[in-house]
Homo-oligomer: A and B are copies of this chain.
Amino acid sequence: MSYQASPPCPSKNHNYQPQTCETLPLYLEQNLPAHIQLGGNPEDWTVKEVGDGNLNLVFIVQGLEKSIVVKQALPYVRAAGESWQLSLDRAYFEYHSLETSARFASYDLVPEVYFYDEEQAICVMKYLTPHVILRKELIGGKQFPNLAESIGTFLARTLFHTSDIGMNAQEKKALVSRFAPNHELCKITEDLIFTEPYYDAERNNWTSPQLDNDIKQIWQDEEMIQVAMRYKFKFMTEAQALLHGDLHSGSIMVTETDTKVIDPEFGFMGPMAFDIGNYIGNLFLAYFARPGWQEDLQQCEQEQQWLAEQISTTWKVFTTGFLQLWNNKSQGDAFPTEIYQNHLGQRALHHAQSVFIETLFEDTLVNAGLEINRRIIGFAGVADFNDIPNADLRATCERRALKLARELIVNAKNYQDLNAVHLFAQSI
C-alpha cells in the first residue's frame, strides 16, 4: 500500500474574513451542514462573542432549539494585539487534533465537532452547558468527583493510541507528518515554557518587587537550567504521541459529573510526559494558591488535600489505563507482540512496562516543575495566583510553588510516587 499524503495545512486563506456577531448568522445559514438545525431563522438567533482566551474569536450562537460554539482563529495573538502575528493554521491543527482525540477518547471527553471550514479557520462545536472552566472553579474551592478519572482516562487513551506502542507505524508517522508543521504554536511553548523563564527575557512577568531576589537566584541556578534545556531538547525531538500541548485547568470544562478537554490547537507529536506534567503542574499551582483564596486554615488544608489526591489519582488512573491498553494491544510496532506476547512472555512485558513508566514518571515531574516556573516567572501567568489581590500573600504562595518546582526539576529521580512529592510540598 502506498502512502497517502495527508492534505497539508492551508497556509494561505485568501478569502478569510473574521466574523462578527452581526455577520455570523448569515455565514452559518449558508455554510452549516443541513443536519445541524439551530431552529428558527438566522434573525431569531442570539450571538455572543465570549472569547476571553489569548488567541481566538469564540461565539455562542443560540437558536430556538439548539446552541453551538463557533471558534475562529485570528491572524494575530489576540492577547498581544495585531503586532504579534500568528497564522490561521492553528485552526487546522486544532480541528485535526480534536478529531484524533475524539477517535480515541470519544465525545465523552472532548466536544463534538459539527463543522470545519479550513479557509475561514472556523470550527463549529457542541455548546457545552452548564459546563464551566475548571480553573475558575478550582480558584473558588470547588471539587469535582469525576475529574481525576476523566483526565487520567483522556491521557491514557490519547497518548497510548497515538504512540508507536498502540498505533500502526505508518499511521503514527502520518500523524507526525501532519502535526510537525505546527511550528508556530510549538515555538510559543519552546520560548515561553522552556527558555524565557531562565534568563532576563523581556516578556517575563512576576510579582515584583516581592519575588525579585527569588527570580535572580533562579537565573543563577545552573543546575536547574541545565535540566530545563535538556527537557527543551526532549520536547523538540521526542515524537512519542499526539499531545494536547496545552493541558492546563483553563483547557478543561466541567460540571459535577462531566469533563471535557477543549482547545487542542497546540496539538503536535511530542513527549507524553509534557501533557501529563503540564496538567499536574497546574494542579500544584492551584494547590499553592489555596492560602490566597481560603482564609479558614482547616478548610484550606482540606482543599489542598483534595488537590493532592487529584494529582496522585490522575497519575494512577493514567498508568492503569495505559498499561491495560498495552497489555491488550493488537498493533503498534514498538514493544511488539512478537517479542513480548509470543516470545518472552508476561514477566518480561511487565519489566519493560515498569522501566517505561518509571522514566515517564521522572519526565512528568520535571515537566510539572517547568510548568510551575513559567506560570510564575514567564509571560503567561495563571489567575490562581494573578487574581490574589494582596501581592505579599501572592508572593508567599508563589515562592513555595517555586521551591517545589526546583525540587521536581533537579531531584525528580528521588521520588517514587506523588505522595512523596506531596510530603515535600507540605514541608516547604
* A contacts, CB < 8 Å to B: 1-6, 8-9, 11-12, 87, 89, 163-165, 169-170, 172-174, 176-178, 180-184, 186-187, 190, 195, 198-201, 219, 222, 225-226, 229-230, 232-233, 236-240, 333-336, 338-340, 342-344, 348, 351-352, 355
Contact = CB atoms under 8 A, between A and B. Distances in A.
Contacts of A165: 233
15 contacts: A1-B87, A2-B87, A2-B89, A3-B183, A3-B184, A6-B8, A164-B237, A169-B236, A176-B177, A198-B339, A199-B339, A226-B352, A232-B333, A233-B335, A237-B334
A338 B170 contact: no
Nearest to A334: B233
A184 B1 CA distance: 9
Residue with the greatest number of chain B CB neighbours at <10 A, chosen from A4, A12, A236, A342 = A236
In the A-B complex, the 7 residue pairs with the smallest Cβ-Cβ separation, listed nearest first, are A5-B8, A177-B180, A176-B180, A199-B343, A2-B87, A170-B183, A164-B236
A180 B184 contact: no
A338 B201 contact: yes
Nearest to A232: B334
Give the copy number: 2
A181 B3 contact: yes
B181 A219 contact: no
A237 B236 contact: no
B333 A187 contact: yes
A180 B176 CA distance: 6
Nearest to A3: B181
Given A2-B87, A8-B8, A239-B239, A339 B225 contact: yes
A180 B174 contact: yes
Contacts of A351: 222, 226
